Structure 1
């Protein structure tokens, strides 16, 4: 990847959020594993800014110190939405009420001007403190949304009526995201930034507009996260988001967060089990993956996790890199021909279920394109 900002690579823990209870996101049993490269640290905006302009950085400082102790990196996400400070209401911020399971929650309306002003100021102050912190390997751009981390909004029929009453438009919501991304890039000029992509109220338009803005404005400094990562979701539920993720793998950088724990819910995984989720991500150019701490601590998955960490730490060199070693050479041609001769799905470069001249032509095109 060109430029000085290098995106993180490797196996990260999608560990529980840091709330002040226990060890937070940096769990010692996970952090001490040699094949774990880092951990996602999620903290609530309301915890970090308990009153307007007054900050409490102690939890984040503690998590960074813990990560340094174990020699791992931190991906930082400040959770917005329902985790925004309660004092915003007193400032006149328009709040949106919705059901989250059995709970009634509130989130700032993303295009409210007072909310945007306070959020932008917080981002700037966050960057003023941590812009030169090397232990932070990635900063997630977040916004007011259904869970304060991903892009989707509350979307029940009642929610959709209420959004219309609140003045929702794709353009307004997309602008709130592009403004947040711009603010994070300005605040963290030395760090890669990434944003999640999700359909919004049943449409791919917002995600596409936000991604295109990030590409046009910030180039390879801003990447894309798929927090919904499962084979079924990529191929059947969110194909438009999967296309964005694949494009980001070539044009900037990409991350996936496995949506489920194999230890707890193995039935939610592909027919190939965890291996299928890993293979599709890596074949799509992803070199950063967040997995649940329960799976990292599952002894039956340890060998697979070690192998996955090694694969993720090998640079992406395009679809033509059949042996995934980060270079294009004769061995990739040989691997393709071997797969083609056995009708291995990896050689089905056109994805039409057939093995013919068009697959050979597509492979040669990918090989000739070289590494991104």
Structure 2
């Protein structure tokens, strides 16, 4: 005599027992798509780099200045990039290149007619009353208006020349895109009163799109990075449209990163952009500082690295001074393992 219900119940019990008893499939190791990059100081490329002996370090990140690399119109000095590439070659590493315009633009670009931004006397007085700590920064500010056509003409000509020389180089990991902000990021200080120079969101967005397109055309075989930030806090609405343009126009070809990683986290809006973008492109972080720069603001490195891994980044720019610190070796190794880039 058959008992269908009993047979079915027994079969289900056997199946459930097998599922419970079956060992979990091992987690798939994370594929290395970047790693840890040793971040060098402005216009600094050391002749020797002992931190590159570590297998946990994937490459170097150099920060160079346009005014050094094109001291005269059309006269290019590529020696620092060549030195960085040679250093990487000797250690079998990769290079992340960042040439910054903005405050580091050559004087001749103003002589050619580019509009220059400088703090007014009234602005200096106001800042001294309200935020005297900013005076030193304001004293250094001299930069082109990012949407100025003369400035863009010369800056983008430099980008094309750089691409003509390096677009096929196998040791380049990525090329950082600059030119729409005061430094390597997108930021424009609100204290500079940009309305005096005809500011509009549309104008700055258009300038960034032109810069992004030019980098992509100059480096068709390499990804480019955008260091995200809302340009004028509380005023501009530029960041979201520019990020959307990168992800939609150049999916997987433009990497996004934020340059303020610390143990206390990041600005929530920027962190959320990085987290969401991780499903569509490579994302990364740059540390807020290192042992020789804003050490106390960065805080516990292990905690900062954990935040980076939780946010799904593929690479982290770590200050060279941290990579040279033996007390941070374990934290650095754990980061490399988490990125899937440890041997």
Instruction: Give the TM-score of the pair, scaled to structure 1.
Output: 0.75
Give the conservation status (yes or no) of the 8 Å contact 1:48–1:56.
yes
In the alignment, what sits opposite 1:155?
190
1:304/1:231 CA distance change after superposition, 3 Å: closer
In the alignment, what sits opposite 2:324?
297
1:255/1:283 CA distance change after superposition, 3 Å: same
CA RMSD of aligned residues (A): 2.2
Counterpart check, 1:13 vs 2:38: yes
Q: CA deviation at 1:118?
A: 1.0
Residues of 2 paired with 1:220 and 1:57: CA distance?
28
Residues of 2 paired with 1:197 and 1:152: CA distance?
8
SS of residue paired to 2:279: helix
In the alignment, what sits opposite 2:22?
none
1:200-219 aligned within 5 A: 200-203=231-234, 205-219=237-251
| Higher RCO, Cα 8 Å, sep 6+ | 2
Residues of 1 paired with 2:282 and 2:201: CA distance?
25
Unaligned runs of 5+ in 2: 1-30, 120-134
SS of residue paired to 2:195: helix
Give the conservation status (yes or no) of the 8 Å contact 1:76–1:139.
yes
Residues of 2 paired with 1:11 and 1:188: CA distance?
22
1:141/1:7 CA distance change after superposition, 3 Å: farther
**Residue 135 of structure 1: which of 156, 160, 171 is its match?**
171
Counterpart check, 1:84 vs 2:119: no
**Residue 286 of structure 2: which of 257, 260, 270 is its match?**
257
Unaligned runs of 5+ in 1: 1-5, 316-372
Q: CA deviation at 1:123?
A: 0.9
1:313-352 aligned within 5 A: 313=340
Counterpart check, 1:196 vs 2:227: yes
Residues of 2 paired with 1:25 and 1:104: CA distance?
26
Give the conservation status (yes or no) of the 8 Å contact 2:32–2:314.
no
Counterpart check, 1:176 vs 2:207: yes
1:123/1:252 CA distance change after superposition, 3 Å: same
Q: CA deviation at 1:219?
A: 1.0
1:37-48 aligned within 5 A: 37-48=58-69
Q: CA deviation at 1:265?
A: 5.3
Q: CA deviation at 1:117?
A: 1.0
In the alignment, what sits opposite 2:304?
277
Q: CA deviation at 1:232?
A: 3.1
Counterpart check, 1:66 vs 2:124: no
- Cα deviations across residues 51-99 of structure 1 (Å, max 9, x unaligned)? 1112111221122111111111110001111111110011110010146
Q: CA deviation at 1:205?
A: 2.4
Instruction: Give the TM-score of the pair, scaled to structure 2.
Output: 0.81
Q: CA deviation at 1:103?
A: 2.7
Q: CA deviation at 1:292?
A: 1.2
Report which of the two structures shows the higher radius of gyration computed on alpha carbons: 2
Q: CA deviation at 1:290?
A: 0.9
Q: CA deviation at 1:262?
A: 5.2
Residues of 1 paired with 2:284 and 2:247: CA distance?
16
State which drifts further: 72-81 or 58-67: 58-67
Residues of 2 paired with 1:310 and 1:121: CA distance?
40
**Residue 107 of structure 1: which of 128, 143, 146 is its match?**
143
**Residue 274 of structure 2: which of 226, 230, 245 is its match?**
245
Q: CA deviation at 1:266?
A: 5.3
Residues of 2 paired with 1:283 and 1:116: CA distance?
38
Number of residue pairs aligned between Structure 1 and Structure 2: 296
